[in-house]
């Protein structure tokens, strides 16, 4: 597979696996055993970059990644995101929250689901135009300083 360097990080496969379909959008959520099998097969075929977010399946996607990689964290480069909010009852998007408090709590929840102590790439999935972008970026910088997120962060 073609590899590309991302930031000052290691080289990654040019094609990664987006994990949204594990949990929703393309039909019902995959069974846990099938999701873990899919993730293991991706690694076996050379994929090492995985894109997920807490909102995919309201945590299901990240939980499946945690189950699949809890004993092989070094095999997967994890990109996760935050910002969009979902109503757990209606399962519908309920806005965007780029506050420092939400950034911190969402990252902490993602790390619990992923069963890891850091994200390799952490992105603002959608900008919160109700607050200054500096507030959000400052929260992201704090997470990098604390070691919860790698030095790679991005804004969309």
State pLDDT tens for residues 93-140.
788 999 999 999 999 999 999 999 989 888 998 899 999 999 999 999
- Find out whether 119 and 151 touch, Cβ atoms under 8 Å: no
**Domains parsed from the chain with CATH numbers:** 3-155 (3.20.20.100)
How far is it, in rounded angstroms, from Cα 115 to Cα 136? 24
Label residues 51-87 b or e (16+ Cβ within 10 Å = b). bbbbbbbbbbbbbbbbbbbeeeeebbbbbbbbbbbbe
56 catalytic? Reply is: yes
pLDDT of residue 109: 93
Does the pLDDT of residue 150 top 80, yes or no?
Answer: no
Does the pLDDT of residue 142 top 70, yes or no?
Answer: yes
pLDDT of residue 9: 66
| Residue tagged active-site, from 22, 30, 55, 56 | 56
* Three-state SS sequence of 32-97: HHHHHHHHHHHHHCCCCEEECCCCHHHHHHHHHHHHHHCCCHHHCEEEEEECEEEECCCCEEEEEC
Q: What is the pLDDT of residues 29-39, one digit of tens each?
A: 999 999 999 99
pLDDT of residue 154: 60
């Amino acid at each position: 597979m073609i590899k590309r360097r991302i930031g000052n990080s290691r080289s990654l496969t040019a094609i990664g696996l987006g994990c949204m379909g594990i949990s929703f959008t393309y039909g019902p959520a995959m069974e846990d055993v099938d999701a873990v099998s899919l993730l293991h097969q991706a690694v076996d075929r050379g994929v090492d970059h995985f894109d997920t977010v807490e909102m995919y399946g309201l945590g299901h996607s990240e939980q499946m990644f945690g189950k699949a990689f809890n004993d092989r964290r070094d095999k997967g480069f994890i990109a996760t995101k935050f910002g969009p909010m979902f109503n757990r009852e209606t399962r519908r998007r309920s806005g965007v929250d780029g506050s420092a408090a939400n950034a911190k709590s969402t990252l902490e929840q993602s790390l619990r689901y992923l069963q890891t102590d850091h994200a390799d790439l952490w992105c603002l999935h959608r900008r919160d135009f109700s607050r200054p972008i500096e507030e959000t970026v400052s929260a992201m910088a704090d997470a990098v300083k604390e070691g919860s997120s790698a030095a790679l962060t991005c804004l969309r």
